[in-house]
Amino acid sequence: MMISYQELVRTFLNTGYSGLLSKLKSEEVEKVNTLKPTRYIFVTSVGLSPLNKKEIFELFKPYILSDDDVIGPEYLNDLLTRFPQVERDHYKLWFSGTNILMSLLNNAANQQSAFLIEDAVNDSYKFIETKQLHKTLEILRENKVVIITGLPGVGKTTLAKQVTLIHFELGYEIYHIEDSITEIESSYLKEKKQFFYFDDFLGATHLEIFSGNSDSKIVNFIKRIINDKNKRMILTSRTNILNRAKSLSELFNTEKVDKKEFEINVSNLTEIEKADMLYNHIWHSLLTPEYSDTFYNNNNYWKIIRHQNFNPRLISTITDIDKLAGIDSASYWSHIENALSNPEIIWSHCFNNQTREEVLDLVCLVVFNSGIIDEHVCKTALKRVFKIKYSGEYYTKINNIDEFIKESLKSTLSRSLTTTNKNIPAKLTPFNPSVSDYIINRFSANESALALYFSALNTNQSINTLFSLHHSGKLDDNAITHVLDSIFNAIKNESPNDYSLHVYHALINSKLSSNYKKNMINPNIFLNIHRGKNRYNFKIGECISWAATIDHELFSEKSITDFINYAIESDWRHPLNHDDYLPLTQLIDMYPEIKSSKAVLTLMEHIKEFWHENYDEHLSNTGKIQSLDYYEKSKADDIAYDILRDLISEYNLPFNDDEMEYMFHNVDTSTHVYDTFSNDDDESNNWDYFENKRKERRDSENYINNLFKKD
């Protein structure tokens, strides 16, 4: 017998059976009478008594054939147990219930990962499974790594979170990378199922400056993932930013990163997928009927679905009740049309009509601090801003800082706070990347405002943002030099500290002119740096190397050997690495007379010990041995030794063969060579359900009109 299926009845759980029955009588009965199905099976998650089932059966006669076709939650759960494939096909069923959510959060790798999982679960209620999800999973299964790219607002982050959520259920431990690959390398465990999530890995609104070997660290980590059967990784990036990375970094081209890419394009969404997306957001919103009816009036939903600027972020924003302050229901459709025609108008309206100036100051500080800032750091910076902008009302303003933060939440900013570890400070981030886009575009030419905010922040992250915005062309030379003039005016009388050294290092490595650098930085600043309280690192080393290049006579042989000794002393307290040693050896090249000094010989001993202890781990991080093909694996030792020799040659120091052997001594290449193609049968079976083709939908227009039908 052929069965015609009717959509599942939508129920209001909080109204119970009486609310359900009212809904059935007012809407569903007429729909079923219109469809005249051969058989109608009614399913609800509302608890039903035998009398309730009888009443529903009578309501839908003759289309419900018997009481058995009225299914309540008990039998529904039993069916899901008997037919697990159904639950697998609809992964959101995995995440219902507070107990399950708490279990997920308790098993997260770290607090950031717990926040990520919680966000993904919350987002899942509005998320629509599209072909993009299945394509992403397919690429991930084949390559172990996927880079989701696309224009702003197309849903890269939302998709990446849902893929992460799926892998959590598949037994992977989730690791949320917030800033750089370095922060997660120590958590890499070869035999453990681990999933790494890296959103906007090249910068949310600008291309990060590739300094040192940061690009190689990313590529090498990806190579490790590819060659490890227990690992998966998902990254997101805006298409134009990734393309610029490829143009600036040879590694991004030579390692064929593009094979792991999947570009999301709104034009690839079907009308049904767009309709489902819009309907889901309306259904799960807090919009009152006078607002939600706007979408149904005059079939306005079609104007949204077929608009050329349709994108998921825009839909999320126009259905968010918190974004509609000051917009009455009569003006709501006009607001939607304006938002579709000019997406930036949403934030323009928000910041110009709904946001106090003090909250705008707060949001600017968060955005210009790389989009994330500890709350207590932000409060300190905000006080500095208030002292300059509102000197006459300063104490009134600072007493209301908590109120300003509260006002910003869920509209322009988000706040994350762990309840399990009080030592982890609350962090503030933009509500979504479009907030950062708006702020940067609005203030990119406002030199005085930029100088105020960046000077107030006084953080390394803000300096990274400043130079990255300049590097990407968001700030011109006039804007950044105006900001730097303000920053240097504040630090010029200070002894070098971590922040000022970060400023000097960023300027030295920027694309600003050599003359500007020399005018701003006096090489004398670094003359006695080793006598201060600063711990040596590669940034200090590169600053000294630059100063010696500018004024070679400023540094005597003794001052250079004193500096090397200072670096070595730092090594005893805080172990150095390859990047830290390189500037020291560059200084030795500039002053060759000291090559035979005790300081240089001691430095060589430190370098030997570093590689003796760390080369095996370094080799693992490169992924070069793991990626050898079958015929090359027999030469793994020779290849590993050649890699080490290339590294040591960068120092230009006279290490002999015995010393090379000592540095290589702890390497066991057999631990890095393993079968990269094996996969657990269980996981393979788990993936099968994602490959099932979606059932044929009804004619799209009929489906969409029926979806938005109001009786």
Provide the CATH number for the domain around residue 174.
3.40.50.300
SS3 171: coil
Q: From 700, 707, 687, select the one nearest 89 (Cα to Cα).
A: 687
b/e map 502-529, b = 16+ CB within 10 Å: bbbbbbbbbebeeeebeebbebebbbeb
Let me know whether 248 and 110 are in one domain.
Answer: yes
pTM above 0.95, yes or no: no
Q: Is the pLDDT of residue 315 over 50?
A: yes
Calculate mean pLDDT across residues 18-35. 81
Let me know whether 135 and 78 are in one domain.
Answer: no
Q: Which pLDDT band holds residue 68 (cuts at 50, 70, 90)?
A: confident
Q: From 414, 438, 439, 437, select the one nearest 427 (Cα to Cα).
A: 414
What's the pLDDT at 690? 44
Pick the last residue of a domain from 32, 57, 82: 82
Let me know whether 223 and 114 are in one domain.
Answer: yes
Q: From 464, 548, 541, select the one nearest 510 (Cα to Cα).
A: 464
Distance CA 711, CA 708 (A): 10
Calculate mean pLDDT across residues 270-297. 92
What's the pLDDT at 109? 56
214 Cβ neighbours under 8 A, 6+ residues apart: 180, 208
Let me know whether 185 and 256 are in one domain.
Answer: yes
Share of the chain above pLDDT 70, in %: 83
Let me know whether 78 and 101 are in one domain.
Answer: no
DSSP tally for the chain: helices H, then strands E: 37, 10
Let me know whether 177 and 58 are in one domain.
Answer: no
Regarding predicted confidence, which is higher, 48 or 466? 466
Rg of the chain on CA atoms, in Å: 30
What's the pLDDT at 328? 92
Q: Which residues partner with 196 through β-bridges?
A: 175, 233
What's the pLDDT at 99? 46
Q: Is the pLDDT of residue 19 over 90?
A: no
Is 25 part of a structural domain of the chain?
A: yes
Is 307 part of a structural domain of the chain?
A: no
Q: Is the pLDDT of residue 677 over 50?
A: no
Let me know whether 42 and 143 are in one domain.
Answer: no
Is 528 part of a structural domain of the chain?
A: no
Write the pLDDT tens digit of every residue in 217-226.
788 888 888 8
Let me know whether 101 and 72 are in one domain.
Answer: no
Q: How far is CA 261 from CA 140, 143, 257, in A?
A: 10, 10, 7
Q: Which pLDDT band holds residue 598 (cuts at 50, 70, 90)?
A: very high
Lowest mean pLDDT among 127-136, 211-220, 626-635, 701-710: 211-220
Beta-strand (E) ranges in 332-459? 373-374, 413-416, 427-430
What's the pLDDT at 373? 95
Regarding predicted confidence, which is higher, 134 or 218? 134
Lowest mean pLDDT among 110-114, 220-224, 272-276, 400-404: 110-114
How many other β-carbons are positioned within 10 Å of the β-carbon of residue 226?
18
Question: Could you tell me the residue range of the domain that residue 69 belongs to?
Answer: 13-82
Share of the chain above pLDDT 90, in %: 41
What's the pLDDT at 112? 75
Mean pLDDT rounded to a whole number for the chain: 83
Write the pLDDT tens digit of every residue in 361-375.
999 999 999 999 999
Let me know whether 125 and 60 are in one domain.
Answer: no
Pick the last residue of a domain from 223, 249, 268: 268
Write the pLDDT tens digit of every residue in 573-586.
788 999 999 999 99
Which residue's structure tokens are 């030419």?
445
- Name all contacts of 359-363 with Cβ < 8 Å and 24+ positions apart: 359/404, 359/407, 359/408, 359/412, 361/385, 361/386, 361/389, 361/453, 362/404, 362/405, 362/408, 362/413, 362/428, 363/408, 363/412, 363/413, 363/430, 363/435, 363/439
Q: Is the pLDDT of residue 65 over 90?
A: no
What's the pLDDT at 49? 83
Taking each helix axis from N to C end, the angle separating 557-573 and 598-622, rounded to the nearest 10 degrees, works out to: 50
**Highest mean predicted confidence (pLDDT) among 13-27, 116-130, 290-304, 346-360:** 290-304
Calculate mean pLDDT across residues 368-394. 95
Amino acid type, 372: I
Which residue's structure tokens are 């080393």?
541
Q: Which pLDDT band holds residue 91 (cuts at 50, 70, 90)?
A: low
Write the pLDDT tens digit of every residue in 502-534.
999 999 999 999 999 999 999 998 887 866 678
Is 512 part of a structural domain of the chain?
A: no
Is 469 part of a structural domain of the chain?
A: no
Which residue's structure tokens are 């938005």?
708
Distance CA 711, CA 701 (A): 18
Q: Which pLDDT band holds residue 547 (cuts at 50, 70, 90)?
A: very high
What's the pLDDT at 85? 61
Q: How many domains does the chain have?
A: 2
Is 162 part of a structural domain of the chain?
A: yes
Q: For residue 326, is it left (φ>0), alpha (ψ between -120 and 50) or beta? A: left
Q: Is the pLDDT of residue 631 over 80?
A: no
What's the pLDDT at 464? 94
Is 157 part of a structural domain of the chain?
A: yes
Pick the last residue of a domain from 218, 233, 268: 268
Strands 194-198 and 413-416: unpaired
Between the two ends of the chain, the Cα-to-Cα distance in Å is 31
Q: From 277, 281, 323, 274, select the one nearest 438 (Cα to Cα).
A: 323
Which residue's structure tokens are 């490790």?
224
Let me know whether 28 and 120 are in one domain.
Answer: no
Is 390 part of a structural domain of the chain?
A: no
Contact between residue 23 and residue 12 where contact means Cβ atoms under 8 Å apart? yes
Let me know whether 65 and 149 are in one domain.
Answer: no
Q: Is the pLDDT of residue 96 over 70?
A: no
Q: Which pLDDT band holds residue 2 (cuts at 50, 70, 90)?
A: very low
Let me know whether 101 and 68 are in one domain.
Answer: no
